[in-house]
Chains A and B, each alone.
Chain A
Amino acid sequence: MKLTQGKINELLSESACEHNHKKEGKGKNKSCTQVAQPGAAQGGCAFDGAMIALVPITDAAHLVHGPIACAGNSWGSRGSQSSGSMLYKMGFTTDLSENDIIFGGEKKLYKAILEVKERYSPAAVFVYSTCVTALIGDDLDAVCQKASEKAGVPVVPVNSPGFIGSKNLGNRVGGESLLEYVVGSQEPEYTTPYDINLIGEYNIAGELWGVLPLFEKLGIRVLAQITGDGRYRDIACSHRAKLNVMICSKALINMARKMEERYGIPYVEESFYGVADMNRCLRNIAAKIGDRNLQERVEILIAEETAKLDEALAPYRARLKGKRVVLYTGGVKSWSIISAAKDLGMEVCATSTKKSTEEDKARIKELLGKDGIMLEKGNAQELLRVIAQTRADMLIAGGRNQYTALKAKIPFLDINQERHHPYAGYVGMVEMARELDEALHSPVWAQVRKPAPWATAEPGLAID
């Protein structure tokens, strides 16, 4: 895939992304095209985004073509888990030196791909370009093609120099590479009317494993996981699915739309977080597959699971009821987690709408009620101000804001990709309730808020 300005613009203005329509013709929404400002500190780059999207393909080698910073400072840090191959956890990089930059890195890359193939026999090699290799003009596509012919294994170029934009754009660049080189390149051994793909679920903390058993019980086959705990071959066969299920992410929407165009696979956008969403997800899948019998099975499963869940959640509900939370997370997760918190009897007094679409915002409004605060933009100070103003009991946010909360001595729950606990599906609700309870009721809060007794006592009064 050649990375042209046209291609980047296409990814930025993805027509299926709600950011880009429902705008009544009033220009493009900034969310997709927005770039980091000099002097800011937030967020990864397009290279980071491409890695996030593709590294969960567990049986592939992910080779970074660039200087040491890009892989050396980041390898092995993704929370995505595997039920099989651990190859994706290894860091591979051409680790360019000054000489490579002067004379070009193509030869080194070619040899590197062959060495990786030779020593690690991957199902495929994904090769990521970076700012420096894009700048010196290495022809990634040509090298990958040549190396693939020589090595006899798929070598997929991912043109992802960090400077083209944000993490979100990088996700889509990753999706584009899958569309161009992987999807449709192999055929499954057999198909069933109940084959679906999951897109945009990365199996963080093993979340997927709380959900897959549900599909199994219903007789739904997940043909390809794109990309959490994914296998190269499955993704290569994913064009034979009957339905694409986009999970909690606008990141790979370009894949869902193009697979609909090319292979006639319809898609639904769902979430695995919270009881209401999990129920809706299963119902929508069954409705889309259009099998009356399956729909009946879904209703039975939901009844069983929610009854079990009610019992498991009862003790937590008692302890969490009425607790006030401020939520600071992006996109679909905003309303999705509000709904989960409400399920537990908690009150969400403010939430961010940073990466949310108009549709997300409407849903948030409905869920929050009239007193709820919608934070358009926020930094540490702003977050602390809102927490104080709403007398919130805790902050639920991404790891980036963890220390904002902890240093202010406010209970915190990590909801983003660095977390260690799976919150998806019905079992995930129990896990989340347990974590919320632990965070809120930890005995440390009273102790860390307590000033030293000698510091508060007035001099001379300490001794009676």
Chain B
Amino acid sequence: MATIATRRKSVAVNPLKQSQPLGSALAFLGLKGMMPLFHGSQGCTAFAKVMLVRHFREAIPLSTTAMTEVSTVLGGEDNVEQAILTLVEKSKPEIIGLCTTGLTETRGDDMQGILQSIRKRHPELYDLPIVFVSTPDFKGALQDGFAATVESIVKELPRPGETRPNQITLLVSSAFAPGDVQAIKEMIADFGLTAIVVPDLSLSMDGHLDDNSGSVTSGGTTLAELREIGSSVYALVLGESMRGAAEALQKQFGIPYEVFPSLSNLDAIDSFIEGLADLSGLPVPEKYYRQRAQVQDAMLDTHFFFGRKQVSLALEPDLLWSTVHFLQSMGSEIQAAVTTTKSPLLEALPVESVTIGDLEDFEQLAAGSDLLIGNSHVASISRRLNTPLYRMGFPIFDRLGNGQRSTVGYRGMMQLLFDLGNLFLEQEESHAKH
């Protein structure tokens, strides 16, 4: 059981946290033909866009209602309307994801009312789904915005239907990268199950070349698939932050669910594979025996380097949970854990204390560790503390391949073992030389 510390200070120094709308945009990007729209001033969109572009190295569709001082005072209805009409004309989205910002939440625009009256005035928008999420910048963090968005999507789009015994719904939190989603989908397919994934970043942000001109997302969960979610027999839920969305599905369609907070340690992966076998009624394919034997061998080879190492982490709650368990399962110890936002997971984390704070807190707490784990902003701390950094989370702008990397399943876990193990190994070698 961890105690949760919140630093009492008036200034955040080197923020770890990003805003809810950014998380919302990230979730929306996993839907096909999507154009996310921020209801705020143009900078809100520009900053989020730059971050996403730097992380994924992809063109990112994102648009703004371009609120001005005058429209802020008078109300944003005209701007929302004009933005939607312009997008429909110019980008032809199959779906629009609308989220608020600090500016429009402070003003208090009645978004449901605005959307209703726009729809009334424009019957031509009848078939265009517009998913709305409230994402004030002054509350929560990226993970919360992402979770709220998935919840809005599953509340608004699925329709009831007859249950299909082989169809499951997979809800994926912001802790999982496009490469992770791809790996998880393969596991599910290996059991003869069809998964509707919300959101499916593995089809849009994986970095691939196609003929799409790039004004909306080129891939992701389709609207047709989202409509069919009501027919799923079960929901597999990856990441605690997805629980709200899972409960919404259960309430609406009676779909039972199970939450898997991690897929990066042996026990967690075993129980996921076992779950897939139970759901499908099929035996576990031979290849997983092999992969499991490989990861166990890798654990033996690498455990010399993980054992008793002091690791400090600065990650969002879901990713923090999964990484802490991975490290502890290898014999490493957690020196410091810093995170961005509240989560029911934090108290249950098997460490002494978790700090909801910034990277200034992290730098103080992490001094003397053997390894740091966090986003690219931690790189300068890593230099100052002369401690190696393993990059995880968002944004990672000084490493290539963020659309593809995977740390889940036996294979992803094995990669994680080797990557971290090599960092420890390198450190020991360089110490030995002195």
Interface set of A (CB-CB < 8 Å, partner B): 35-48, 63, 66-77, 86, 89-98, 100-101, 108-109, 111-112, 115-116, 119, 130-132, 135-136, 161-166, 380-381, 384, 399, 403-404, 407, 409, 448
Contacts and interface: CB of A to CB of B under 8 A. Distances in A.
B18 A162 contact: no
Nearest to A135: B106
A96 B138 contact: yes
Given A41-B64, A380-B213, A131 B138 contact: no
Nearest to B88: A39
A403 B62 CA distance: 14
Contacts of A163: 41, 67-69, 71-72, 103
29 contacts: A35-B68, A36-B64, A38-B65, A39-B63, A39-B64, A39-B65, A66-B137, A72-B19, A73-B19, A73-B47, A73-B48, A74-B47, A74-B50, A77-B54, A89-B380, A91-B14, A94-B10, A95-B12, A97-B138, A98-B139, A115-B10, A115-B11, A131-B72, A135-B72, A135-B107, A162-B41, A163-B71, A166-B42, A399-B53
B109 to A, nearest CB: 12
A90 B215 contact: no
B17 A98 contact: no
Nearest to B12: A95
Contacts of A165: 68
B377 interface: yes
B314 to A, nearest CB: 13
B14 A162 contact: no
Max chain A C-beta neighbours (<10 A), residue from B79, B103, B358: B103
Interface residues of B, number: 70
B63 A92 contact: no
Interface in B11-56: 11-15, 17-19, 21-22, 37, 40-51, 53-54
Max chain A C-beta neighbours (<10 A), residue from B13, B17, B80: B13
B47 A98 contact: no
A72 B15 contact: yes
Contacts of A409: 209
A70 B43 contact: yes
Contacts of A67: 19, 102, 136-138
B58 interface: yes
B84 interface: yes
A411 B59 CA distance: 16
Can you list the 6 inter-chain pairs with the closest CB atoms, starting with the nearest?
A39-B86, A45-B43, A69-B19, A38-B83, A403-B59, A112-B11
A63 B19 contact: no
Nearest to B135: A69
Contacts of B213: 380-381, 384, 407
A40 B64 contact: yes
A164 B69 contact: yes
B66 A36 contact: yes
B138 A132 contact: yes
Contact of B42 (A45, A63, A77): A45
B275 interface: no
A131 B102 contact: yes
B43 A48 contact: yes
A290 to B, nearest CB: 44
A69 B137 contact: yes
